[in-house]
Structures are given as C-alpha cells and as structure tokens.
Structure 1
Amino acid sequence: MVVGKVRALAVCFDTLNDSNAPVFSGGELVSGRVLVDVAGDVRVRSLAVTARGVAKVRWTESRNAAASTAYTQNYTEEVEYLHHRDVLIGSAEERDEEDAAADEGGVTILHAGLHELAFSFQLPQMALATSFEGKHGSVRYWVKAELRRPWMLPVKVKKEFVVFEHIDINTPLLLAPQAGSKEKTLCCWLCASGPISLSAKVARKGYTPGDSIQIFAEVENCSTRVVVPKAALYQTQTFFAKGKGKEIRQLVSNLRGEALAQGKSQSWEGRVLKIPPVSPSILDCPIIRVEYALVVYVDVPGGLNLSLSLPLVIGTIPLHNATSRTSSISISSSGSASTWAGVAERPEGGPLSGAGSVSVTLKRGKSPTIHRWMRIPEMLFAHESERANIFGGKRLTRTSLDALKHECVHMGGAKSTNDQFQRTTSRLF
C-alpha cells in the first residue's frame, strides 16, 4: 500500500479591506480557510486550528552580588488576549489528545488533491492591544493549523494577522490644543546672561500617521550665545515586568530652525512636521505602552537645552471634516477672512497682511460664551504676524494679554457683542 504525502498546508484569511491584508479589531469576526494539498490518499487523525493573541515582554540585566560574583536577571511577563481552538477534522473527544496510538478508528481519509476547510471565530469584545513589535516586547496575533496523522510527526503552519485597537482622535480630549512656555537663564560662574524664552503650541493632541503637525512657536534669545530652535517627534516604548520598567526612546521625525544671535527672536507660524508611518499609541496594555511627544526645544551650545514637551496621541481614525463643528473664530483683514474651526486650526495659506480688525463669528447669531472669549487672547498671542497686523504693529505682551483676558471674561459674562470687543482691544492697544 502506497502512503499518501502532504505536499502543503496553509492558512488563508478572508479579508474585505482594500489592501487585502488581514486586519481586524476587537469584536470582529475572523474567518478563513485551511488549505491541505495531498498526493495520494492520506490518513488524518485530526486537523485543528488555534487562534492566539499574546503580549509578551522580555529583557535581561546584569547584576553584581559581590565583588567577584555576577549574574543575569531575567525579566519576563505575558498577557493573553485571545485563545480559541477549533477542530476541523476529528471528533470533539480528540481535541486535546496526543497522537500516541495508531488506532484504526477515528481516522479520516483525504484523497489526492486540494482540500479547503473553513474556520471562523470572533475576537473578544474588549480592549485588545494593537499589534506591535518592539525591542523588548511584542503584541502578536496568529492562527496555527496542526495536522496529525497516525504514526507520523504532525504538520504545522502558523500565520499572523493584525489587530488594531482603534483610537478616534475626534474626541474632545484629543481635539484640545497643546501649549506651553518655558524660560531659562544661562549662568557662567558668577555671571548670568539674559534669559532664553520659548513658547509653543499645536492645534490638537490627536493625530494619525501621515498627518502634518503645524507648530506655532516663539523663541527669544537674550543670552550671549547663538542658539538654534528645533522640534522633534519622539516615540517612547515602555515595557513592564516583575514590578520593573524598561524604557526605549526613539526619534520619529524632526526639523530645525534658523540660528539666533544675541537679542534676536524667531517665530514659527505653522512650521510643518510630517508624521511618517508609525505604530498607533498603545495606552491600555498593562505590560507595554507606546507613547508619543512633540518636543520643541532650543539647542544651547555648551549648556543644557531649553525643552518643552507636548504629549500627543497617534490614533487610527483620522480627523473628520472641520465643517461639522458648531462654532468658529475668524480673524478678518482687509475684507478677507481666515477661519479657525473649533480649536483654531491654522489654514494652509500664508499669514494675514494689512491692517485689520478682530471679529468673533458665531453661527445662528449666538453670543460668545466666557470660554470662547477667554480663548481669543491666547490664539492672538500664539500668532505673531496676525497680532502685529491686527494691532497696527504693536507688540502683544504678557501684561497686555492678561488685561485682555480680564476684559474678555467680563464681556463673556455680560454676553458682549463684537463691537464691545473691538472697543476693548482698541483701548488696550
């Protein structure tokens, strides 16, 4: 009797996306087929598929117990997100039995040719960790098919699929602007130079791969050194095991400004930093975290840099159409208007030019709220070119900004009109 041969064993997924890649999310149905190509008749005891999803971390550290004694400490941890097993050929009683005996009963004959056996399972309705490959850990999902035959070694094949835990950046938290400011004074023994000041702002906290981050920043150099403003997007991978953490920081993209001599200043009016294809943020996995931060900093030769870190979240669901928002703030100049929707996102065009006026535009004729009024000064302060044009070239200092804030709070509480706001800005400037 001629014994048949298994020529190939493969796993194929049924995918419906445009890229034809096996990509799924929590709660979705995963389906596919196991392909078995045999030459001649093959006696099969069982064919089972097992789906697994595991987050795993591992790293080692060297320790010194005494002056002449050293050892290696291993740190490992594992979290299981998925474990599903199904038998495609064979009885239910043989699901977990080892093929220890070649019993004539319970054997299925596969005749020569290609055989397709369908499988399906549903991903858990829970927050699954996004697929990820890092230096000290990973999150992987896969399906393994195992074909067992009497008196022969099993044939196995494994194929991975991708899981995305979706992050929608259209939530209020991720649409909120991120801003900050810092100042430092350089010292050399008993002599101190003037301060270096830095302020930076981005339109929102949430972005997706391929987006462009528009950076608005101001740097003023009153020190005696030549400094350079820069910006960089960093990814931080943090791995946890046995109560200890291991952190890896990687540069994603960066940009460089012009060198600043003593007494000079520089403004970034929407300098663009593009986000390359990167892994989304992982925030809910107990042993692996992937976080992002935009670091705007001043490179100080021979000294510590002045650095400002703005935390960001890289999501999977991109920004919706800005026209769906309910209100807008616009700065109009010489009859033209440039609209900032919701969180004051700057359009692609250049800065406004010519003498202009500040106006607040609200839909349905509603009066500005206190919150809206209080946001106007900060937005004006963040845009050097616009405020210079709006206020006839006069500089909007922090002192005048605080005064304008106070007036805006008063007007917001009194449901003031745009004309009242115009009169206030004219009086203050």
Structure 2
Amino acid sequence: MSSTVKNISIHYDAINEHNTFSNGDIISGRVILELSKEAKINSLSVKAKGKAEVRWTEGHGDKSETYYSKEKCFKLEQFILKKRKGDGDGHQSMLMDECGETYSTVISAGSHVYPFTFQIPQGNMPSSFKGIHGKVIYWLEAKLDRSMRLDSKTVSEFNFASNADMSNPQIMSPQIGTKSKKMKLFTSGNASMNVRTERMGYMQGEAITITADIENNTSRALVTKFSVEQKQSFFARPGRRVHTKHILKEEAAPVPSSTRQTITKVLKLPPDLATSINNCPIIKVEYSLKVYLDVPYATDPERTDYDEMEVISSD
C-alpha cells in the first residue's frame, strides 16, 4: 500500500444467519478507500468472481509432476469510477452516488465509501468447498488503479450454496438395500439384512433415520455398524486424486444368534458438512451410507451401501 493510499477494504451485507448466498441472490456491499492526501485515480473497480481449482504433486522415481486445473464459475465487474480516454482532470465516473451525482476521479484526503450491488448468476455452479487437493471459492475484489503506481487490491470471500431441488423424485425417493451371505470358517449359517432410509437427499445438520431388518441365522451374535463416508475426487488431465474419510461411525447392540430384529438408528449429519458436488468438471464430492454386519473373525463383513447419498445445503 502506498503512502497516499492508507487503506482499501471491501465489505458485504449478510442476507441470512448462515451468511451464505445462492443462485440469483443480490449481494450488496461497499468499498472503503482511505487516502492521506488528494489523489488522481484512473479507475476503481469491484468484481464478483468464482472458480474451482485443483493442484497436487506426484513423485515418479527421481522426478515429480504437478497436476493443476481450474474452471471459472462466473465473473462480474463494475467500475465505481473510471477515467475516460480523452478527458481531462476532474472527469466523472461510470456509477452514481445516492444523490444521483457521478463520482470524481480526483479524490480528496480522508475516508470515502462507495456502495455496489451484484446479482449472482442463475447458472449451474458448485457450492463453496475446500478439500485436500482443491477448492471452490467465491469472492469480491476491489482494485484501485493509478498512473505510475502499483494497483491496490483487496478481496473478501463469501460462501455460495448451490440451489438444490428437493422436489427431485430421485433425491426424495426412499432408498432400499438388501444383502444375504452364507458364513464360513469360524461362523456357520446365514445372515441377511434389509436396510431402508426415507430418501436419498439430506440437508446439513439433518438426521438420517435408518431402519435395518436383521436376520441372524448364524452361530454367533452379529453387530450392526453404520457409517457415513465422504469421497473427494480431483481431476487434472491426465491425473486423478481421490480422498475418502469417515464422517460418522456408530453401531447398534448385537443381534443374538438365531434371532430376527428390526433396528432403527438415527445419524445426525454435522451442520457444517460440505454439500455434495456433482456439477463441477474438476471436483466431485460424494457421500455414501454404509451398513455392515460385523461377523466375528470374518475378513469380508456383510454390508449394504448407498453410494449416491446427497448432502444438500440447509440455507
């Protein structure tokens, strides 16, 4: 920052308690410029931008290769003031103040506040996300341009939650999974389970109610285990990186040998859980609900998976 430009900052107004924005929302704010003395300005602009970006490095013997890719989500720009070619000193800006007057590009010493408003596009854009090898970010940027000086910039990130249609029949349809298995080695007999959930799509912080019909015709008690897993996939030609982690892990009481039980388990998703991303070419975030029958000494436990569980923004 030069001695003339004491500070430049950008601020926006929240529209909900979660401080998130979505498709079509209006984002309003202000650029605050503080000058120690009068200055002539070529332009003062503000941008609203979004992008997805991935990067990772892989070793190949003595060499390493970096994979990188990015995708633009959107870019909007407004000039608060801009010097027009051919104009002399004291010419005027492209936007007007609250009194309907244009801003001068000769700015006096002191603090100056410039309001702005953008409407976020209606496009199919991914939600904000920060993962192990990539991110989707949205931000506001103000830039001050003066002749024979380095540009002064400031940025402020904002959270974007992609609109999701909860009336989508696939997202709202019940999910059912069945599995049966004949036990060998240390456990004899058969075990089977039928697992149901109310739907495929759930919001952040919402509870998933799981109903599992367990039939244990084996010689041992079986423990039913439940987990929600997140899978992050990152793509940069010709490479791909995948990272999987457990979000929740719980279990129910054992089902005794030669019995049949119906188990109901409620798993509450974290309120700050990242939403599913399936509309970005270089980043994908998926969730799966897995239900296991833990058989003592078995190396291949019986399980049923829901590999297309969706987590949707609660905003």
Pairwise CA distance, 1:92: 5.0
User: Kindly tell me: are residues 253 and 192 of structure 1, through their superposed partners in 2, closer, same or farther at Cα, counting changes over 3 Å?
Assistant: closer
1:289 aligns with 2:284: yes
Structure 2 Cα separation of the partners of residues 56 and 45 of structure 1: 31
Pairwise CA distance, 1:219: 2.2
Asked if 2 retains the 8 angstrom alpha-carbon contact of 1:166 and 1:317, the reply is no
Q: TM-score, normalised by structure 2?
A: 0.85
Note the alpha carbon deviations across 1:31-89, whole angstroms, 9 max, x for none: 3211112223233332222332111111222224xxxxx32122221110112233222
Asked if 2 retains the 8 angstrom alpha-carbon contact of 1:168 and 1:317, the reply is no
Structure 1 Cα separation of the partners of residues 187 and 268 of structure 2: 38
Structure 1 Cα separation of the partners of residues 209 and 158 of structure 2: 34
Note the alpha carbon deviations across 1:91-130, whole angstroms, 9 max, x for none: 2559xxxxxxxx9897933212211112233333310111
Counterpart among 157, 160, 177 of residue 157 in structure 2:
160
Partner secondary structure for residue 17 of structure 1: coil
Asked if 2 retains the 8 angstrom alpha-carbon contact of 1:4 and 1:41, the reply is no
Q: Which amino acid aligns with 1:241?
A: A
Structure 2 Cα separation of the partners of residues 50 and 83 of structure 1: 7
Asked if 1 retains the 8 angstrom alpha-carbon contact of 2:52 and 2:136, the reply is yes
Q: Which amino acid aligns with 1:222?
A: N
1:195 aligns with 2:190: yes
Counterpart among 85, 88, 91 of residue 77 in structure 2:
85
Q: Which amino acid aligns with 1:313?
A: E
Note the alpha carbon deviations across 1:174-216, whole angstroms, 9 max, x for none: 221101111122333xx87212212211111121112111111
Counterpart among 283, 300, 309 of residue 304 in structure 1:
300
**Long gaps (5+) in structure 2:** 92-103
Partner secondary structure for residue 279 of structure 2: coil
Structure 1 Cα separation of the partners of residues 174 and 262 of structure 2: 18
User: Kindly tell me: are residues 79 and 4 of structure 1, through their superposed partners in 2, closer, same or farther at Cα, counting changes over 3 Å?
Assistant: closer
Asked if 2 retains the 8 angstrom alpha-carbon contact of 1:167 and 1:317, the reply is no
Asked if 2 retains the 8 angstrom alpha-carbon contact of 1:168 and 1:316, the reply is no
1:204 aligns with 2:204: no
Query: Following superposition of structure 1 onto structure 2, how do residues 321-360 of structure 1 map, counting pairs within 5 Å?
Result: none
User: Kindly tell me: are residues 157 and 226 of structure 1, through their superposed partners in 2, closer, same or farther at Cα, counting changes over 3 Å?
Assistant: same
1:62 aligns with 2:59: yes
Query: Following superposition of structure 1 onto structure 2, how do residues 7-22 of structure 1 map, counting pairs within 5 Å?
Result: 7-19=6-18, 21=19
Aligned residues: 298
Structure 2 Cα separation of the partners of residues 315 and 257 of structure 1: 27
Structure 2 Cα separation of the partners of residues 297 and 192 of structure 1: 16
Partner secondary structure for residue 188 of structure 2: strand
Q: Which has the higher contact order (CA 8 A, sep 6+)?
A: 2
Pairwise CA distance, 1:279: 1.6
Structure 1 Cα separation of the partners of residues 177 and 7 of structure 2: 60
Q: TM-score, normalised by structure 1?
A: 0.64
Structure 2 Cα separation of the partners of residues 210 and 192 of structure 1: 39
Note the alpha carbon deviations across 1:204-238, whole angstroms, 9 max, x for none: 11211121111110223333444311111111111
User: Kindly tell me: are residues 297 and 285 of structure 1, through their superposed partners in 2, closer, same or farther at Cα, counting changes over 3 Å?
Assistant: same
1:263 aligns with 2:275: no
Counterpart among 306, 310, 316 of residue 313 in structure 2:
316
Q: Which amino acid aligns with 1:197?
A: S
Structure (1 or 2) with the greater strand fraction: 2
**Long gaps (5+) in structure 1:** 65-69, 95-102, 319-429
Runs of 4+ in 1 over 4 A off after TM superposition: 103-107
Counterpart among 152, 167, 172 of residue 170 in structure 1:
167
Q: Which amino acid aligns with 2:11?
A: C
User: 1:29 matched to which residue of 2?
Assistant: 26
Q: Percent identity?
A: 32
Partner secondary structure for residue 173 of structure 1: helix
RMSD: 2.6
Note the alpha carbon deviations across 1:307-343, whole angstroms, 9 max, x for none: 111231112368xxxxxxxxxxxxxxxxxxxxxxxxx
Structure 1 Cα separation of the partners of residues 173 and 59 of structure 2: 44
Q: Which amino acid aligns with 1:250?
A: K
User: 1:5 matched to which residue of 2?
Assistant: 4
User: 2:94 matched to which residue of 1?
Assistant: none
Q: Which amino acid aligns with 1:271?
A: K
Partner secondary structure for residue 222 of structure 1: strand
Structure (1 or 2) with the greater helix fraction: 1
Query: Following superposition of structure 1 onto structure 2, how do residues 79-158 of structure 1 map, counting pairs within 5 Å?
Result: 79-91=71-83, 108-158=105-155
Structure 1 Cα separation of the partners of residues 197 and 155 of structure 2: 44
For the pair shown, the structure with the greater C-alpha radius of gyration is 1
